[in-house]
């Protein structure tokens, strides 16, 4: 019989004809090949070679602990013990040493052996299937982990340094992902000697699919910047135009993903902040002239509607100012009972001032969160004076 399933029979002496024929008959019907060996050495070699689904064994005179040895060798697959008498002590010892069932030879009623064999074969199949699916799952998880690590590496490479000065403006940010990959993304870059742009985006969902959109977002803004430098388009000079371009291209991908985003354009000569709002919340907090307040504005999320309209505003900046942006993940970790109370906490914390984002994170309790329910991103923009 050519089979990939085996039953190993270990015995120092042949089984009686009735028991042997009953065993062989049911195994043949189940397409399981019966392999017979004598002695512990041959049995262990057969186990290594065949990986049997089930083992039947009689006590071996050479080894009183044989049943425990073979049970441990083939577990979790079943072992059925044969013996010449039904002494209670022998039965209990066999079960304690790992036997799944016990039969006294010769077997007067072979149908009981047949039932046991079928039951043990079914158990062996369940064990084999479970092992197969576990191996498949482990392989899938290993592949997923490799993909996640590769994605994280790419995402980290796309992010700017945590603190940079561009055109006399200091940009400092931190991102605390809820998963290995983040759906929050931050970027800032120089357009000209007087203009610089920044944005904070929060992509819907979590994990790899959201992180993939951050790659698209980075490529889109890089392309708009290249077009400006070549003189082929000037969309980069308008935050709302940037939002419209991102909206169109994101819809064209057909990924079914959308994002909220705040885009700001800083003019060092005019001392202004021009910005566009694509459904971003909470709104950034501007601290200057001794007070702190949320910027005005609203707008549709990006990537949901073909005809989306985006709110564009402009504000004048004092010599000393601090603009603080958060993704909506910050609201998830605040204990206040309602949204208004949470916004007040953000406003009051920003108004007190902070030395750096680490100080701000400590004040808001972000540093005490081991596993955030949502990605948390924070960006601070200030003038170097």
Residue spans of the domains in the chain: they are 6-135, 159-383
Residue in 164, 175, 239 with CA at minimum distance from that of residue 210: 175
Entry pTM? 0.67
Residue 12: other Cβ atoms inside 10 A: 13
Topology at the third CATH level for domain 6-135: Rossmann fold (3.40.50)
Going residue by residue through the chain, which has 385 residues, state the pLDDT in tens, using 9 for 90 and above. 556 888 899 988 888 787 888 888 888 888 888 999 998 899 999 999 998 988 988 876 666 788 899 989 988 888 888 887 777 777 888 888 888 888 887 777 777 777 777 787 788 778 778 887 888 888 887 776 676 666 666 667 778 999 999 999 999 998 887 665 667 889 999 999 999 999 999 888 666 667 778 888 899 999 999 999 999 999 999 999 999 999 999 999 888 889 999 999 999 999 999 999 999 999 999 999 888 999 999 889 999 999 898 999 999 999 999 999 998 888 887 888 888 998 888 888 888 877 778 888 788 877 776 666 678 889 999 998 7
**Domain 159-383: top CATH class:** alpha beta
Strands of the chain, DSSP E: 6-10, 33-37, 54-57, 79-83, 101-104, 163-166, 169-176, 184-190, 195-203, 259-267, 272-278, 285-288, 291-294, 311-316, 322-326, 376-383
């Amino acid at each position: 019989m050519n089979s990939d399933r085996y039953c190993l029979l270990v015995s120092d002496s042949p089984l009686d004809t009735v028991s042997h024929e009953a065993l062989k008959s049911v195994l043949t019907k189940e397409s399981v090949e019966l392999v017979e060996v004598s002695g512990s050495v041959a049995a262990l070699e057969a186990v290594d070679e065949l990986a049997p689904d089930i083992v039947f064994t009689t006590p071996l005179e050479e080894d009183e602990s044989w049943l425990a040895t073979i049970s441990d060798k083939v577990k979790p697959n079943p072992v059925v013990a044969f013996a010449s008498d039904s002494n209670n002590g022998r039965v209990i010892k066999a079960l304690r040493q790992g036997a799944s069932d016990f039969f006294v030879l010769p077997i007067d009623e072979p149908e009981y052996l047949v039932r046991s064999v079928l039951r043990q074969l079914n158990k062996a199949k369940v064990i084999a299937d479970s092992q197969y699916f576990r191996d498949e799952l482990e392989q899938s998880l290993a592949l997923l982990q490799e993909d996640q690590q590769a994605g994280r590496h790419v995402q980290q490479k796309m992010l700017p340094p945590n603190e940079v000065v561009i055109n006399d403006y200091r940009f400092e940010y931190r991102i605390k992902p809820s998963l290995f990959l983040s759906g929050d993304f931050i970027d800032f870059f120089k357009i000209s000697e007087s203009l610089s742009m920044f944005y904070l985006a929060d992509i819907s969902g979590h994990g790899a699919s959201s992180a993939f959109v951050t790659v698209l977002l980075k490529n889109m803004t890089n392309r708009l910047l290249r077009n400006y430098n070549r003189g082929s388009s000037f969309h980069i000079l308008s935050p709302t135009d940037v939002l419209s371009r991102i909206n169109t291209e994101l819809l064209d991908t057909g990924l079914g993903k959308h994002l909220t985003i705040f885009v700001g354009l800083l003019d060092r000569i005019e001392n202004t902040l021009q910005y566009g709002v694509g459904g971003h919340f909470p709104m950034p907090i501007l601290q200057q002239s001794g007070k702190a307040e949320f910027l005005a504005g609203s707008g549709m999320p990006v990537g949901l509607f073909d005809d989306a309209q985006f709110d564009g505003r402009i504000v004048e900046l004092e010599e000393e100012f601090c603009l603080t942006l958060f993704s909506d993940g910050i609201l998830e970790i605040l204990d206040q009972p309602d949204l208004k109370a949470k916004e007040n906490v953000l406003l009051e914390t920003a108004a007190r001032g902070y030395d750096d984002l680490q100080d701000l994170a400590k004040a808001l309790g972000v540093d005490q969160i081991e596993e955030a329910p949502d990605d948390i991103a924070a960006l601070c923009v200030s003038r170097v004076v």
